[in-house]
Structures are given as structure tokens and as C-alpha cells.
Amino acid sequence: MVAIRRAVRVTGVVQGVGFRPYVYALARELDLSGHVGNDVHGVFIEVQGDGVEEFLARLPADAPPLSVIEDITVAEVEPQVESGFRIVESAGSQSGEVTSIPPDTAVCEDCLRELRDPDDRRFGYPFIACTNCGPRYTMVTGLPYDRANTSMADFPLCAACEAEYTDPGSRRYHAQPTACWECGPQLSMPVAAVVAALNQGQIVAIKGIGGYHLACDGLDSEAVDRLRRRKQRGDKPFAVMVADVSAAERIAVLDSASRELLASPARPVLLLPSRDAGLQGHVAPGNSFIGVMLAYTPLHHLLFDAGAPAVLVMTSGNVSDEPICIDVQESQMRLGAIADVFCHHDRVIQVACDDSVFRVIGEVPQPVRRSRGYTPSPISLPRSCPPMIAVGGEIKATAAVASGRRAWLTGHIGDVENLETLQMLERSVGVLADLERVMPEAVVSDAHPGYMSRTWAARYATDNGIDHIEIQHHHAHLASLMAEHGVDEPVLGMVFDGTGYGVDGTIWGGEILLGGYDGVQRVGHLKPVSLPGGDAAVRFPSRVALAHLFAAGVDPNGTAAAQSTDLRLVQQMLRTGSHCTPTTSMGRLFDAVASLLDVRQAVDYEAQAAIELEALAVGAADPWTAQVEWDGDDLVIDPAGWIRAAVDSHRRLVPVAWAARAFHAGVAQAVVVAACAVRDREGVGTVGLTGGVFANAVLTRDCVAGLTAAGFKVLVHRIVPPNDGGLALGQVMVAGAGS
Ligand code: ZN
Ligand code: ZN
Ligand code: FE
């Protein structure tokens, strides 16, 4: 009988996830000979024997939980004289498409059991990990993914760990983070001391997987306020951490989708309706949602097991807008004035990776920030694109590296408005390009002349002799939404956000765009108003409200906005047009309405007024109407009706909840009317909702319901955020289409 031998190649997320031991076990079970190994392309296998067909059938079906198989290719090869199945050494660097590094993953159930087992040799060990869990992306220094190319290279395995590491039957076989009390990383202080500090109301800087957290007792309002003051946080919400799902249920309202996401290996922060008004009041004031995550490192579990406060504030270890700290010295320098106590460890974090943030809108999880647990999982692209990097926008920046049919996004970088965040951008994009072996032929940025990221891209292009491509902000938003859905046909995009540089040099943000990667037509927009002070008005909803009152021809006297700003000065600016920039921003419209309903006149953080307005919008109310009309080829949404309704509601003491609800419903109604108007002329069937304004769950739900009822297919974000954190993905798609 002629022996059958096949060479098999598997690509995708197949390294660092227990793929080789899985292949080994399967081959042995089927009595096959041959070998398996890792190289920079993924996993290579040769199998020989009668069970080869069954092997090939079962290979993808039973693959390890953390693996993501992209492709399996099979070739016939000459049978050989051999016996047994072996795991062979990793092959070194080669060129071509490479494998993907897995994201960092929450400690698994098996490790957690050992962590709590007094008879286990890793009992209470804060860095317990295995092939199914632990850090990955944040400790990798190069490819192939082997211990020598990770932060674990600093920790030679002890004999006991070595035995597990080299035993194909062990859960720790070639698990790079494998370590124990004997040989692995250590904390700088005992867990009991951290718990004691937290219980005394102290602020503890805790080094984690992708950076430092600042932690304190979430139920101790004094401690939380102190952290807020020291961090110069204003009223910006903090995320909290609890031990498990049942602890989360005590402080927030969960549905099945949120329970599942909360406990998933990525363990994101989830924005959930709050149950505890007291906790809400100091952790996330003015907000109806609370950001909750579950313990995800062994240390987090040890803290709760040892009696840490049941609700811990866990916020990024940074100062206001700077990036998250990742190393010991830097943390002491930058967080020294904030933290009372530092709990370091000696495993080097190679690249920062903040916690991810999601919210669930009608059972569908939507990312607000895609970072730890997701970075650097590749996103499949509907079109092939040349090797390039994209730097995103300015706020909530996230960069991307793309090549062929894949794009990889960095973790959350922050607002690129200072040198520190710019350096983090540079580092994150460099690490990712190295890991994925992408040699960029172009660098893509936003077109805004004032963005530091754009300036950086221009210099990077010059330094490296490659092209610099600028992509219009809202076009990139629409392309990112289409790309994550794998769509490659014209879509009608409702692109609503706070600020984006328009092709006419004004501030856009209420855009109706029709098209795709190759180009878009601006078929409509919110009617422009003149913004006194331009982008600086972002901090003062009252100013934006005056701009809208002026445009709508409404007397500002007696309005909530007029009482909290220098009315005469602003009116003077509006009349003369000096220091005024026209804007079609939908985000600013939400600010204006929040001001007129006297929800908020000045903000501490981006979109605060809109977030608080959304929080108030409960129950049901008839939509406020606004005019949506063609002006030639230009479909214009005139917000004057909404502005008059807001002034009127405030004057007549209509409950704010009702007014806020009616406004949201009104914007959704205008979206549906606009979509139908464009369909009548252009025959488009798919509407995409993107831009930071669609982080608003009330608005998104209303729009999806209305558009669906009107017969449209509706696209909303599920993989990348609707805000500027998703921009880089769209930038590569549009730049790729043009080259
Ligand atoms: Zn594990
Ligand atoms: Zn050990
Ligand atoms: Fe934007």
C-alpha cells in the first residue's frame, strides 16, 4: 500500500495559542508520522499515514480556543521512511506574509484553579499563565513568537517549568509566559500590602499587562475625589473593576450580550446602565452608564480574594491626556504626585495597551475603544492594499498598519496633542510594522493642517522617501465602517461627529456622503453655522448655542446659554464674522441643545454635554422636526426647528428628559427623511451610521429602527469604534484605492 504524505500550512493567529501541541496530539491520536513547527508564516506541518484525510478534516474543526485560522493550504509530497511525530524547532526569519501575534488574554479557568489551590506550586503566584491565557502582544519583541523574542527572555525557566514547557502533553508546552515563584517575574510588594493600602483609601499605581492602572476603593468617595483631583480629571468618568459577573450585576444592569462580552477572554470595560446611584455619582457623574470590567490578571483575582474593596476604580495610569505609563521609572516620575503606593513588577511591557471599552446597543456590542484583548488581531479587508501605515486623526488616535488583505490596528494611543502621545504613536506603529513585517510604501494621515499626526506623517514620508497621502476625515470614517463589514459597493453614509477638516477648509461633522473607497460625493449636510472661536468653542456649549440661535434667527436673551457666557462679545463676533469658522458639526449641535436645555454650559472632556444629554433622554417622546430639503444638488438639514424647540421647552419648563428624548428622535427622523430623499434620486439601498456621534446609543437605536422600517439595510460599527479611533482603518482603504 502506498503511503500518503501531505505538507500543510496554516496561517492566522496560530502561534502562542497552543497550536503545535494540538497538532501533535491529533497526529498521535491518528497514528500519523511527521512533524509540526512554527515559522514567520505560521505553522507548517507534514503528516503521513492512513489517517491523513481525517487529520485534515479535524484540523480546523477542533482548533484551540484562542487560535484564528485564516487559511490552510495542502500539498502532496513524497512519502518518507520515518516513525513518530515530532515538534521541530522554529524556523527563523524569512520574507513574505507573516503570522499574527495573539492579543493579551485574561487568565483562564485552569490557571485560576491552580492559583487558588494551596497544593499547587503556583498557588498565589501573580504571573501564572499557560498556552490558553496571559500576555502576548505586550511582551513580544520580535518574530517568530518564541520565548527568546519576548520579555520572558529575562526569566530562564527553572527545572520544573522547563519540564512542562518541553512536554507536548502539558498545558504549558511552549507557552511563552510560563513562569513560577521560582523562576518568573515578581511583584515589588506583597498582595496583602496592596489590599491594605486600598482598604485605607490610598491610591495605588498597579503595573498590569499593557500599562499601569491607578486603583482606589470605588465606594470610598473621598479616595475617588482625591484621585480625580490629582489626575486633573474634571468630571470625566472612571472605569471600575469587580471580581466577577455577579459582582457586576450588583452595580449595573446586564443583559445576555453584556454578560458574555464582560466575561470574554478580552475582558473589555463595558459601559452599562448603572444600578447604584451613589457609586455612579462620584465615579461617573452626570452619566447614566458606568464602565465596568472584570478582574483579568491573576493579580486582580488575588487582590479580590485577599479582601480588596469589592468595587475598585481602575483607571489608566497617566496624567490627564498623556499616554499610559508602562515602565517602572517613568511611572514613578509621572505618577509620583498621584499615587500613594506603587506596586510594580519586573516583566517588561514592550508596548502600551490600554483597556478596551465597549457598549452594547440593542444586544450588539459596539467598540468605543479597541485596544487590549483585540490588538493586534488583524482585520480582513475587502480589497488588497499596498503596504502602508495610517496615523488616524488627533483625538482618540489609533494607528494602523496594512498590507494585502489585512490591517492591524494599534491599541488606543490617546489625543495626539503633545510630544508624549506623538512618541507613543511612533512607537506603537513601529512595533506593529516590525511584528507584521510591513515595509510601508506610503504613510496616510488626515488632511487637517493643524494635526500633529499629519505633520508627523509628512516628516516620516520625507525621511523614508515614501508617499504621504491625506484622506478627508469623513470619507475615512465611512470607509472604516464599510471595511469592517467587508462591503465594496456604494453606501450612503451618515457621518456625524464633532470635528473634521472639510475639503472646503471649514469644520465638517454633519455629513451625508455617498460612495465608497474610490471616492465620495457630499450629497448633503447639516446647515452650516458660524462658530465663534472655531474649534475652541468645543469647551463651551453655551457659545455653540449662541451660534445656533444666531443662525436660526432666535433672540438669545433669556436663554440658558445667554446667562453663562459673554453674550455681547460673542454676538459681536457673530455679527462681524471675525474669529468665526463655519461648521456643519452634528456634535456641536448636540452641545447647543444641551446648553439650551441647561444641561451643561462648559465641558471638562470631549462630548461631555452630548453624553449627559443622551443620559437624560429616557422614555418616549414625539420627535422634534427639522426641515430636510434639497437646495439644488445639496440636501440640507436645517437645525433651526430643533433650536426653537429647545428654547421653547426650556422656557415652558418641559421636563428635560422629555425634551432630550424628543431631540434624539428628531435627529433620527431627519436621518430617515434624508436617506429616503437620496434614495429617490440615487437609488441607494444601504445606509451606514458612523462618526463619534453614533457612540450615542439612543440616537443609534432610533436611526436603525427608522431606517430599517423604511427598507434600508443599515451598517453600524462592531469591530472598530465609530469615533476617530476607527479612522485609520478607513484611511488605509481610501489610500489603497487611490494608489
Ligand atoms: Zn491559563
Ligand atoms: Zn519556574
Ligand atoms: Fe471624526
Closest listed ligand to the CA of 110: 1
* Residue of 340, 436, 338, 342 whose CA lies nearest to 388: 436
CA of 608 to the centre of ligand 3 (A): 16
CA of 171 to the centre of ligand 2 (A): 14
Task: Dig out the grid coordinates for 17 from the structure.
Answer: 495559542
CA of 611 to the centre of ligand 3 (A): 16
CA of 373 to the centre of ligand 1 (A): 15
CA of 184 to the centre of ligand 2 (A): 6
Closest listed ligand to the CA of 108: 1
Question: Rounded to two decimals, what is the model's pTM?
Answer: 0.92
CA of 162 to the centre of ligand 2 (A): 7
Three-class SS of residue 179? coil
Other beta carbons within 10 Å of 513: 26
Confidence at residue 6, expressed as pLDDT on a 0 to 100 scale:
96
* Residue showing cell 440593542: 362
Other beta carbons within 10 Å of 632: 6
CA of 290 to the centre of ligand 1 (A): 29
CA of 172 to the centre of ligand 1 (A): 8
CA of 195 to the centre of ligand 2 (A): 26
CA of 147 to the centre of ligand 2 (A): 14
Task: Convert the pLDDT of each residue in 717-735 to its tens digit.
Answer: 999 999 999 999 999 999 9
Confidence at residue 17, expressed as pLDDT on a 0 to 100 scale:
83
Closest listed ligand to the CA of 159: 2
CA of 109 to the centre of ligand 1 (A): 7
CA of 570 to the centre of ligand 2 (A): 67
Confidence at residue 569, expressed as pLDDT on a 0 to 100 scale:
85
CA of 298 to the centre of ligand 1 (A): 10
Residue-by-residue DSSP string for 379-400: EEEEEEEEEEEE---STTB--E
CA of 484 to the centre of ligand 1 (A): 30
Please identify every residue whose CB atom is under 5 Å from ligand 2, which is an ion: 158, 161, 180, 182-183
* Residue showing cell 456649549: 541
The list of the chain residues with pLDDT below 70 reads 1, 92-99, 739
Confidence at residue 319, expressed as pLDDT on a 0 to 100 scale:
83
CA distance 544 to 530: 9
CA of 691 to the centre of ligand 3 (A): 5
Q: CB neighbours of 494 closer than 8 A, spacing ≥ 6?
A: 511, 512, 671, 674, 675, 687, 688, 689, 690, 691, 694, 703
Residue-by-residue DSSP string for 419-488: HHHHHHHHHHHHHHHHHTT---SEEEEES-TT-HHHHHHHHHHHHHT-EEEEE-HHHHHHHHHHHHTT--
Residue-by-residue DSSP string for 245-263: HHHHHHHB---HHHHHHHT
Closest listed ligand to the CA of 502: 3
Other beta carbons within 10 Å of 226: 17
Measured at the CA of 612, the angle between CA 611 and CA 617, to 5 degrees, comes to 95
The helix, strand and coil proportions of the chain, stated in percent and rounded to the nearest 5, come to 35, 25, 40
Q: Which residues of 680-707 are buried (b: 16+ CB within 10 A; e: fewer)?
A: eeeebebbbbbbbbbbbbbbbebbbebb
Gyration radius of the chain over CA positions? 27
Confidence at residue 98, expressed as pLDDT on a 0 to 100 scale:
55
CA dihedral 701, 706, 708, 714 (to 10 degrees): -60
Confidence at residue 447, expressed as pLDDT on a 0 to 100 scale:
97
Q: Indicate the average pLDDT of the chain.
A: 93
Give Dmax (Cα) for the chain: 97
Q: Are strands 491-501 and 686-690 parallel, antiparallel or unpaired?
A: parallel
CA of 553 to the centre of ligand 3 (A): 29
Task: Convert the pLDDT of each residue in 174-223 to its tens digit.
Answer: 899 999 999 999 999 999 999 999 999 999 999 999 999 999 999 999 99
Residue type, 97: E
* Residue of 574, 496, 561 whose CA lies nearest to 533: 574
CA of 133 to the centre of ligand 1 (A): 4
Confidence at residue 21, expressed as pLDDT on a 0 to 100 scale:
86
